[in-house]
Structure 1
Amino acid sequence: MKNIIITGTSRGIGLELAVQLADAGHQILALSRQTPSRLLQHANVTCLSVDLSAPDFSLVEQFLKSWQHVDAIVHNAGALVLKPFAQTTAEDFQRIYRVNVFAVAALTQACLPYLKNGSHVVAISSIGGVQGSMKFAGLSAYSSSKGAVITLMELLAEEYREQGIAFNALALGSVQTDMLAEAFPGYQAPIQPADMARFIADFALNGQRFFNGKLLPVSSTTP
């Protein structure tokens, strides 16, 4: 069984992902600001309260001494602001990038001593962050941050290639989450969080055998 860290586990895809992998027998470290009862009650889940907009991973580093190794990280947490570009402030950009990019880098750094040959780091990006994809007004901070994390995974894959640590990004299309409702009010996605979580769970466990430094679009719709 694997030791897996998942961020953004309070709701949506992250919550479903943590439950599914824990039900399968894996040990999960769930990081989010709030902890749902479904995770607190699960014997295979350890929950730590972390605010990724001002990340302090000292508790994570302390906990990892008991694990001694990390098999997979799923950087699932995300922040979004929907504003016209002219009204998007520097603080808006900084807040979105702190969660969507800087926290990804900081958590990965904290875990480096525990990542071994065969470990897999997965960043959940967005199809809106992919070069050449359709873009939507009001998402300049969000979509550009998701583009940045894709490039970060590509760079880390090259830097840690000799150690056998794989880094990949999944660019998700629409999934019926609270974040989608915020970005596209009234839009109904054809995919539910539990369905996408099943795909991500399999990829986190097995994708490193086939991919490294890659971006995989996982989208059946526009948006």
Structure 2
Amino acid sequence: MKKTIVITGTSRGIGFEMVKLFADMGHRVIALSRNEEPVKALDLPGVKTFSFDLESSSSFEMLGNYLETQQLQVDALINNAGSLVNKPFDELTREDWDRVYKVNVFGVAELTKTLLPFLRHNGGHVVTISSMGGVQGSMKFPGLAAYSSAKGAVITLSELLAEEYKDRGIAFNVLALGAVQTEMLEEAFPGYQAPLSAGEMASYIVQFSLTGHKFYNGKLLQVSNSTP
């Protein structure tokens, strides 16, 4: 059955690969990214792109109006976009903290709130991409105080939302990723070679978003075979 999937952070890396995989499977994809051109250039059937800024209220209004006008029900929201600053803690500015939290936490919360009226009851699935650095008790790395603490915040947020909306049959789960060969990994760990490609991880997330809600709700799954 054709499903409607909303994905953030689609201009590169895992998000870009997920758009292609969902389109190949025949699903409708709403691809959100500040830079919509990479996905638009693919000219894939069933893919709608938006230039979308998780820090801008007008972006959320635009998306809500589009879903209402098209009378769409959303089967899965994948909160994939992320912002990373790699600096020693004592060099982080207020602006650094604001930028990371506005995208990684406040943007996730606002987008989820925007989509709640459209998420399919008894089958909707919200998948938030976190990081092993946000998992309590996991190994931590210098320079990632803002990023990893923000990724920890969305883990707790998802657990809370799973409880709050369980009567609607909407599942909220988190995937805490380990090392994947992406541009963001290069920013965090320059020169490190990850054991998984963006395409490989995208394939896993695609399948989880389509089926994981049948088995999990309010859960954190650690998707990692290496540290970092």
Common fold, TM-score beyond 0.5?
yes
Segments ≥4 residues shifted beyond 2 Å: 36-40, 53-56
Q: CA RMSD in A?
A: 1.0
TM-score relative to the length of structure 2? 0.95
Indicate the SS of the match to 2:21.
Answer: helix
- CA displacement 1:160-192 (0-9 Å, x = unmatched): 011100000000000000000000001000100
For the Cα contact (< 8 Å) 2:39–2:49, is it kept in 1?
A: no
Partner of 1:6: 7
Q: Distance between the aligned counterparts of 1:222 and 1:39, measured in 2? A: 34
Partner of 1:61: 64
Partner of 2:79: 75
Output the amino acid matched with 2:97.
F
Correspondence list, 1:44-193, <5 A: 44-55=46-57, 56-65=59-68, 66-115=70-119, 116-193=121-198
Q: Distance between the aligned counterparts of 1:68 and 1:179, measured in 2? A: 32
Indicate the SS of the match to 1:118.
Answer: coil
Q: Distance between the aligned counterparts of 1:4 and 1:140, measured in 2? A: 31
Q: Distance between the aligned counterparts of 1:37 and 1:81, measured in 2? A: 23
Q: Cα offset for 1:90?
A: 1.4
Unaligned runs of 5+ in 1: none
- CA displacement 1:2-48 (0-9 Å, x = unmatched): 10000000000000001101110000000001124444401110000
For the Cα contact (< 8 Å) 1:167–1:213, is it kept in 2?
A: yes
Q: Distance between the aligned counterparts of 2:209 and 2:166, measured in 1? A: 17
- CA displacement 1:81-133 (0-9 Å, x = unmatched): 00000011111111100000101110111111111221000000000000000
Partner of 2:23: 22
For the Cα contact (< 8 Å) 1:157–1:167, is it kept in 2?
A: yes
For the Cα contact (< 8 Å) 2:87–2:144, is it kept in 1?
A: yes
Aligned sequence identity (%) = 58
For the Cα contact (< 8 Å) 1:19–1:39, is it kept in 2?
A: no
For the Cα contact (< 8 Å) 1:54–1:98, is it kept in 2?
A: no
Output the amino acid matched with 1:200.
I
For the Cα contact (< 8 Å) 2:82–2:103, is it kept in 1?
A: yes
Indicate the SS of the match to 1:70.
Answer: coil
CA gap 1:70/1:185 in 2 versus in 1, 3 angstroms: same
Query: Number of residues paired by the alignment?
Result: 223
Indicate the SS of the match to 2:125.
Answer: strand
TM-score relative to the length of structure 1? 0.98
Indicate the SS of the match to 1:167.
Answer: strand
Q: Cα offset for 1:68?
A: 2.5
Q: Distance between the aligned counterparts of 1:11 and 1:37, measured in 2? A: 8
Unaligned runs of 5+ in 2: none
Q: Distance between the aligned counterparts of 1:37 and 1:180, measured in 2? A: 20
